[in-house]
Every structure is written in C-alpha cells, then in structure tokens.
Homo-oligomer: A and B are copies of this chain.
C-alpha cells in the first residue's frame, strides 16, 4: 500500500528522444510502485490513494547516472587543470588506494551517499575500487539511500601502480567471487556489476574469466571504451588482433553478449565499433563534462541517437565534478554545439528533448521500464521547486524545465521518489 500514491503538479517526461510530454497541473497515479498514467481528474478507482500536492512545482522522472566513480567523489573539482595521465597518477590512483583503509572508505562513502541522495538521480551505475570491504561499505550506504544502483568492485591486475593493482588474474577473480558471494542477495536496492576497469588494466586471463563469469552468473558488465586517442592506440598495441577497441571486450565475451553492458564515453566509436555496440545493444554512457575536463573529446551523440542505440548520461565523478544529471544534460547540449562548430556541421546540436530523454528514459532503460511516467514504468520522480528564480514575465513549462537544467542546484530538489517510495 505504501507505494500507492498520487503526485499532483506540472508533469514533464519523455516519450522518446523527440517528444517531451508536458501535463500542466495534473495527477500522476502510482500503483504498487508503477505509473498507472497521468490524469486530469482522478478516476474513481484511485480515489482513496494519498495525494501529494506539489502545487506549481515541476515533476520530472528520476534521473539515471550511467557512469560514476564513488571513490573519486572526495576530490571532485580539484586537479582539474591536469592532463589525463598526470591526473590519474597524481590524484586518482593515490586517492583510490586509500580505500584499502575501511575507516577512510566509511567516512568518504557516507559523504558520497548523502550527496547523491539529495541530487536528481534515482538510479546509478557506480564504480567502487578493487577493495572488497570498502566496496561492500559503499553498497551498504547506497542501500540505505533508497536509490536503485548497480555497484562494481573494480578488476585491475596490470598496468597500474603497485599500490592499486591486484597481484594477478587469479587473485582478482578470487576477490571478485568472494565479493559476489557476500553481496548477491544482501540488498533490496543494490545489485553487483562486473567492473573490469578498462582493457589496459586487465590481463587476457582476467578478461577471459570475467567473460565466463558474466555468462555463467548472469551479471551485467560496465567499463570504459574509446575515451582518449592515446588509450585507443594502447589497446591496439595490447590486442593487435583486433580492429577496434570494442573488439577487445568482445573477444572475451564482455560486450553484452549475454547480459547487459554499459560502456562509458565512446567518443571515438565508429564503423565496426559502432556496429558491435549496436549488435549487442550496449548502453553508451555519454559523459560530456568529464570528456571536457580530461580533454578527451566530444562523442558523436547524434549518430548514436539516429542509430537508435541505447544511450544515457553519466557524470563520471570525478572526471566530472558535478553530481547533477540536470547539469549533465546542459553540458551535453553545450558540447554538441562545440562539436557542430569545430568538428562536423552536418550533425546538428542536441535539443532539450534529446538530452532530457537521455538523462531519464534513455539511461533509465538499463534498469528496465523506468525514467518516464508512461503507464507501466516504475515511478521514480523528482519534484523541482523553482520559485526562488524570479522572472519579470510569465514563462512556459518547457522554459521552466530548461532553466532547471542550466540553473538548478540541490536547493531546487524538494522531494524525490524511487519506485513509488519517498526518499525525502
């Protein structure tokens, strides 16, 4: 009964990447955690449901963050004028190594969980570190937030500093199995996901066995793909038998052959790689802010949308410094404009409809039917109160939504629901 309720307000949601539905002053009916639909008047049948009246607020579906690193949250927003390799060496790796210390992890992950809880995100797919206990600590904190997440213990057994590298494939796999045994049926809200860091940091044996594990245990996979030209060359050196980076995952069965896969970035995916991503319905996590901060480049998002590929947004904390998927929507538009100007004027910049879709229904589809208010979707909702942004004239609902993408922060998020349950 707890998940039967009615939200009243100005409802905005995506039907698809072209169509944004706006229902002014309407009722969103949620039965057993799922949307029954949007109504101007409450049907007889639902008259006894509790009504939460949010007045003139905007109500949008919960956002999905398809890619972020929880252990990097602590240092978001600094070292941002370093280049990728300096940033990894001087900041990221030393910081991730600290998570060998459970006491440190506990302090840091609590801060992370509190922050993401009050954001517009209701679903997220998250990297931990190589450390079992710390990753479980992260999962415990995230479970308590009520958000729905996939969280992965990272695998890396080569090409990493000694203080952040598993000894060999055997060790990495044993740790992964031990971790999986402990977490697989432990949570209501959190699920494990296999997380090879990226091709260069995993030995062939490790990749092969992770591929087998994916197949046998039916666990999804997340990793990084084609983020940086130097990285792509490196992968080609390590796997000279492949035509593209994605093929290196594919040859070990890690490209979503059996289970769902997310690949973050995909900035330079074209031709064969694009075909492989389509073939396996891989979710692309587009992380525009990170791709700027690490000077990686700008992904051809319009191509992916036109090819009807699975695509959502990621903050990539701490390549990105902001945890806001609303801001990420704006970043995606901005970067598509720069790409249009500097790279390819045949690819029109992204529209509000498209980025809103990616940040809600597009990424949300990794979790099944969520990220929209259409009938049958799990009802995640974010209530946005923009009354502190005055304007001297009347503006439309679409304009108010657009302003939230560019100007909102946590103060504007008045309430949040996941699968019909109120988080705050």
The residues of A with any CB-CB pair to B shorter than 8 Å are 74-81, 83, 98, 104, 107-108, 111, 292-298, 321-322, 330, 333-335, 337-338, 340-343, 349-352, 390-393, 395, 399, 402-403, 405-407, 409
Contacts and interface: CB of A to CB of B under 8 A. Distances in A.
A80 B111 contact: no
A77 B402 contact: yes
Contact of A409 (B333, B351, B409): B409
Given A295-B340, A334-B292, A406-B321, A393 B74 contact: yes
A322 to B, nearest CB: 8
CB-CB nearest 6 A-B residue pairs: A77-B406, A295-B337, A108-B392, A77-B403, A78-B399, A321-B406
A343 B342 contact: yes
Given A78-B402, A292-B338, A321-B406, 10 more contacts: A77-B405, A79-B399, A80-B330, A80-B402, A81-B333, A83-B349, A111-B392, A292-B334, A295-B337, A342-B342
Contacts of A108: 392
B342 A298 contact: yes
B334 A293 contact: yes
Contact of A295 (B111, B349, B391): B349
Q: Which of A98, A343, A406 has the most CB of B within 10 A?
A: A406
Contacts of A295: 337-338, 340-341, 349
A351 B81 contact: yes
Contacts of A292: 334-335, 337-338
Contacts of A406: 76-78, 80, 321-322
Given A107-B392, A390-B111, A341 B74 contact: no
A81 B341 contact: no
A301 to B, nearest CB: 13
Contacts of A83: 349
Q: Which of A80, A390, A392 has the most CB of B within 10 A?
A: A392
A280 to B, nearest CB: 28
A342 B299 CA distance: 12
Given A321-B406, A321-B407, A406-B321, A341 B297 contact: yes
Nearest to A396: B78
Contacts of A352: 80-81
Contacts of A334: 292-293
Contacts of A104: 392-393
A321 B330 CA distance: 11
A108 B393 CA distance: 9
Contacts of A335: 292, 338
B296 A341 contact: yes
A260 B104 CA distance: 54
A104 B342 CA distance: 39
A138 to B, nearest CB: 13
Contacts of A338: 292, 295, 298, 335, 338, 342
Nearest to A114: B390
A202 to B, nearest CB: 26
A352 B77 CA distance: 12
A379 to B, nearest CB: 28
Contacts of A293: 334, 337
Contacts of A74: 391-393
